[in-house]
Amino acid sequence: MIKLSSFFLFICCISFCSAQKNEIETAFFNSVLPTQDTIIYTDESFGWEIMEEKINKKKFHDYNLNTSKTIKLTISEYKYIKNKISILENYIWNVNQFDRSEKIALAEIEIYLQKRNEPLKLELENVVINDTSAVIQMKNKEYFVYSFSKPIFFRNNKFCLFGFSIISEKKHKPYKKIAFYRKKRGQWIEWLELYNNLD
């Protein structure tokens, strides 16, 4: 009877920890992803090779050098993050991962974006004046696809490492970024950038 009770207690603890992790991850994504439109994202996660390359030391200074932000990882934090990167490198996202979201295969991005953006392009072709706020707003409505990593939380879930890519139609180069984020006053903010492909 004691063994059976211990087993059920163990299962309950695992379920509770899993639910708590999901809540933390959901709160993170609600802070860093756009809240108005549908989030279109790839099935494959992103950034693990870049993370593996960039997490090669324990102390990091602000990438942009305009502030004094630093992070000094403990040995256990460093090992934990390296291990998580290794475990998650082939992570595949679920369908309906977020409210108002759509998941697509990485190989289908180009065709998907052409179809989604075609009506907008036709609408813009018929506009004579190009500098009105309405036209600028229309141009900003262009669809794009996110590809992102699973956030790696550490220090009692107050910090995390996260990477994302924004993919638009083929004529544009995808934007890629890897950064540490920090939770301040209940909101997640970018704390220290490790990499972006525009520099």
Tokens 């709160």 locate to: 27
Model pTM score: 0.76
Q: Tell me the C-alpha to C-alpha distance, in Å, between residue 158 and each of 54, 131, 184.
A: 21, 43, 8
Nearest C-alpha neighbor of 196 from the set 47, 77, 65? 47
Measured at the CA of 92, the angle between CA 170 and CA 145, to 5 degrees, comes to: 25
Residue ranges in the chain assigned as alpha helix (H): 2-32, 48-54, 75-88, 109-125, 133-139
Q: Tell me the C-alpha to C-alpha distance, in Å, between residue 126 and each of 123, 131, 136, 169.
A: 6, 14, 14, 21
Tokens 């163990």 locate to: 10
In whole angstroms, give the CA distance from residue 74 to residue 58: 7
State residue 7's pLDDT score.
38
Phi, psi of 192 (to 5 degrees): -150, 115
In whole angstroms, give the CA distance from residue 21 to residue 10: 17
In whole angstroms, give the CA distance from residue 96 to residue 21: 17
Nearest C-alpha neighbor of 71 from the set 181, 197, 196? 181
State residue 144's pLDDT score.
84
Nearest C-alpha neighbor of 144 from the set 166, 121, 122? 166
Query: Would you write out the chain's pLDDT as a tens digit for each of its 199 residues?
Result: 554 444 333 333 333 333 445 889 988 998 888 766 788 899 999 999 999 999 988 888 875 656 678 899 999 999 999 999 999 999 999 888 887 888 988 888 888 887 877 766 665 555 555 555 544 444 456 778 899 999 999 999 999 999 999 988 766 688 999 999 999 988 999 999 999 988 6
